[in-house]
A and B are shown apart, each in its own frame.
Chain A
Amino acid sequence: MIAKLFKFKGGVKPDSHKDVSAAAPIRVAPLPSHLIIPLRQSARAMARCLVQPGQTVLKGEMIAAAEGPLCTAVHAPTSGTVRAIAPQPVPHPSGLPAPSIIIDPDGLERWIERRPFDYRCVPAQETRNYLRDCGVVGLGGAGFPSHVKLGPGEKGIETLILNGAECEPWITCDDRLMRERADGILAGASIMRHIAGARRILVGIEDNKPQAIASMRAAVQRLGEADIEVVAVPTRYPAGGEKQLIRVLTGIEIPFGKLGTHFGVQCFNVGSAHAVFRAIAHGEPLISRVLTLSGNMAHPGNFEALIGTPIRELLPLAEPRTDTDRYLMGGPMMGVALLSLDTPVIKGTNCILAGSPALFPPPPPEMPCIRCGECAKVCPAELQPFELYWFSRARIFGKAQEYSLFDCIECGCCSYVCPSRIPLVDYFRFAKGEIWAREKEKAAADIARERYELRLAREEREKAEKAAKLAA
């Protein structure tokens, strides 16, 4: 039993707007006319394509294999024919195209042979490889490969935390998943506990979701395993941030440059646990996910859509109102504008939010910073956003790094409270991008310098050898 909950500093309480989409059960989205599956589904790495245009694929067939340690496999979400392998716009803030596989469904939904995976009889490493080949990544949004997070780490994992906080306004996909598929989530968590060798499981759910909490508690009773606890955490954005939830549940504060595993804690989204359950117990790779369609829509709700479904074909299900002028991927706090509706649903797509001038008015003009310090009060990472703002704006990146820019989780609390309506997070994203680009350039320059010096040394040596030969 958890004796007491801890608190994280800062945070805000925006209107939740969750009731508009949370009432209706999850509906299965119909088969789209075509599917666009980007080869890059996990955080940093691109999978290696295994199919050719014209090839027939089965539902759940691996169409791209994992390459490198941070990569996961990609699967055909339905049976059909590969139309092309070509760059397609992907849901990314840049709106740039990325290599994707386009599949025309045949409507038959012919599955591959599905077989449960006996994780109890094989070493944990084999189960992790199996999860990698099932394409299981974190479904909370960042898409980090789950098999990597289940690795042993330095000290091993003592506590497994399931993140059902879902603190972003409007989004209710995890809420509905916990209400409807609690048994699957817990079965997945139990499997993950076995793989990671953890002792206890804590499920953190914000207390504005009483039905989800009740459903998960009932499922814990049914499962009858020891050391699983469902904890209601106070509703305060960003309670669902990984570091914030770990802090609230265990009191551990993770310092810069360290991960949860350094302290024996690892955190997974409830959706990821469900995906692990489907992969292990049913042999189904990750080919669909639940996402919320909400905002300026006539029938908001949650839908189970195949990965690769074009967002344009998904929207009519929730009937966006006629005055909708833009769409966001993700919630209003952290989401990014969707530049094209032809982009597909990817594994990290948790919400499509329709905006209208009335519902999400365009941001008012930015005014000068008055150094009121409100942003520092609400920052959950305990940074000083106004200082970071000055340095980022003036492009003094070294100073920004000294002020721990990279501890910023881009939650948007500072922008939310700023009385001068400065888009602070935009500045921090800009500064981070510039710093990364410079580091990459520096690394490339160092390699070039080394190669140039090696070449000079070689030329020198060759000249000396020639001279020696002539002299002989």
Chain B
Amino acid sequence: MIEALLVMALGAVLLGAALGYAAVRFRVEGDPLVEKIDAILPQTQCGQCGFPGCKPYATAIAKGEAEINQCPPGGEEGIHKLADLLGREFKPLSAEHGIEKPKSVAIIDEQACIGCTLCIQACPVDAIVGAAKQMHTVVAAQCTGCELCVAPCPVDCIRMEAIQETVDTWKWKYPVIKLRQAA
């Protein structure tokens, strides 16, 4: 009787020690679910979801504090991916957070720019260069099209322009032609 208890107790201690060691040794840094959600989000950092960036939104989704349909730049496809990842139902994009738009880039009218640096402070990815009382310009390759620089500009010299398809970015179209219903 005593031996049996001792053997079981020893087993419990050993396994507990092993588990304790593993918890320290193979500790997962950060929340892997947040990372996975963040990888799906488009990283526009526009804040249209109501959170200050893609990572905070991902954290909120992971905690169950936010819906998966609050990201207009990610669009329907992004919602589908989030639904698949989280095992939730697909929902259409929530209208109060905005609509899906073609990807665009900010353009500064350099003649009108007064060099106030407000747009530089607003840009979440540091894609605008310039200095006080100097002309500013957008590094188009790094612009995510978040539109956060448009509102702060005191002289309204920033506009958003949809990115046009070029020979380099053109893709073969989906070959399935939808049947049209005769009127």
Contact = CB atoms under 8 A, between A and B. Distances in A.
Interface in A449-470: 449, 451-456
B166 A448 contact: no
A90 interface: yes
Given A448-B44, A449-B54, A430 B124 contact: no
Given A90-B167, A92-B167, A448-B44, A455 B126 contact: yes
A423 interface: yes
Contacts of A334: none
A40 B43 CA distance: 32
Contacts of B167: 40, 90, 92, 94, 96, 98
A265 B171 CA distance: 32
A445 B171 contact: no
B127 interface: yes
Contacts of B42: 441, 445
Nearest to A448: B43
Interface string A94-130: 1010100000000000000000000000000000000
A429 B44 CA distance: 28
Interface string B159-178: 00000011101111111100
A452 B124 contact: yes
A251 interface: no
Interface in B36-84: 38, 41-45, 53-55
B166 A96 contact: yes
B10 interface: no
A97 B54 CA distance: 36
Contact of A448 (B125, B165, B170, B171): B125
Contacts of A444: 43, 144
Contacts of B41: 445
Contact of B144 (A434, A448, A456): A448
B134 interface: no
Given A423-B175, A426-B175, A430-B175, A448 B45 contact: yes
A393 interface: yes
Given A96-B166, A437-B171, A451 B142 contact: yes
A346 to B, nearest CB: 12
A334 to B, nearest CB: 14
Contacts of B165: 94, 96
A449 B175 CA distance: 34
A393 B173 CA distance: 11
Given A92-B167, A96-B167, A98-B166, A447 B142 contact: yes
A451 B127 contact: yes
Contacts of B169: 437
B126 A426 contact: no
A440 to B, nearest CB: 8
For the residues of B in contact with A, the DSSP-based class is: loop
Contacts of B38: 449
Contacts of B172: 93, 426, 429-430, 432-433
Contacts of A403: none
A393 B176 contact: yes
A451 B125 contact: yes
A92 B170 contact: yes
Interface string B111-130: 00000000000001111000
Interface in B139-183: 142, 144, 165-167, 169-176
Contacts of B171: 430, 433-434, 436-437
Contacts of B53: 452, 456
Contacts of A323: none
Nearest to B174: A430
A193 to B, nearest CB: 35
B43 A449 contact: yes
A393 to B, nearest CB: 7
Contacts of A449: 38, 43, 54-55
A319 interface: no
B59 to A, nearest CB: 13
Contact of B43 (A92, A445, A455): A445
Nearest to B169: A437
B117 to A, nearest CB: 15
Contacts of A433: 171-172
B125 A455 contact: yes
24 contacts: A92-B167, A93-B170, A94-B167, A96-B165, A96-B166, A96-B170, A98-B167, A423-B175, A427-B175, A430-B171, A430-B174, A436-B171, A437-B169, A444-B43, A445-B41, A445-B42, A447-B142, A448-B44, A448-B45, A448-B125, A448-B142, A452-B54, A453-B55, A455-B125
Interface of A: 40, 90, 92-94, 96, 98, 393, 423, 426-427, 429-430, 432-434, 436-437, 441, 444-449, 451-456
Interface of B: 38, 41-45, 53-55, 124-127, 142, 144, 165-167, 169-176
- Nearest first, the 10 closest Cβ-Cβ pairs linking A and B are A433-B171, A94-B170, A429-B172, A445-B43, A426-B175, A448-B43, A451-B125, A430-B172, A449-B43, A433-B172
